[in-house]
Copies of this chain bind each other. A is one copy, B any other.
């Protein structure tokens, strides 16, 4: 049969509640054997908790989330009812600056990591040091998008795996230059991982095994994925 196993997505089960100071790399390695070339995807939620990016607010204040979101934003792009779409300091465009009140104690809000690419590099380096394997790391979050309903998981940080693959100059099967030239593989990896993590399953990490080795290189979401304000046609 012409059906080749190419990619496997494995959920890391049995992760504990993550608290400030935890090493995500160690929590994963205590539970899962990673192999050279794996890409580990970790949700923003646990990375932020490990980094202490949690703030308290008055749960009786209906405006608390909006105010925290605006304090994390460089621009408020749209408001509609309770929805506020902002541009964060990282350059991400998302609802409420990524501030999240689910899976955290009452009266606590989880903010995005200060530098999710750096968070990714730290996890990758610790895995290399402890387990001796070179892996890619992606920190993922769940964002809405323009024009399409429903949210998907995308990469907010990465290390050791290409964020965007530039195919300029590549030719198609008929020898013509490809019209699609830049593919954001790191968002596709984050989305694939979401399919095994779900939202209520308590699986905050997944391993994507079998990624094309050509994609395993240094990279960052900030440099390759974030579209600067002036370059964007829809802001």
Contact = CB atoms under 8 A, between A and B. Distances in A.
Interface of A: 1-15, 31-33, 78, 80, 85, 92-93, 100-106, 142, 145-154, 163-165, 167, 170-174, 176-180, 182-185, 187-189, 191-192, 194-196, 198-200, 202, 206-207, 211-212, 224-227, 232-235
B148 A146 contact: no
Contact of A200 (B33, B167, B191): B167
Given A31-B2, A191-B191, A150 B10 contact: no
A105 to B, nearest CB: 7
Contacts of A184: 148-152
A226 B33 CA distance: 40
Contacts of A232: 146-147
A142 B3 contact: no
5 contacts: A7-B8, A149-B184, A150-B182, A151-B183, A192-B195
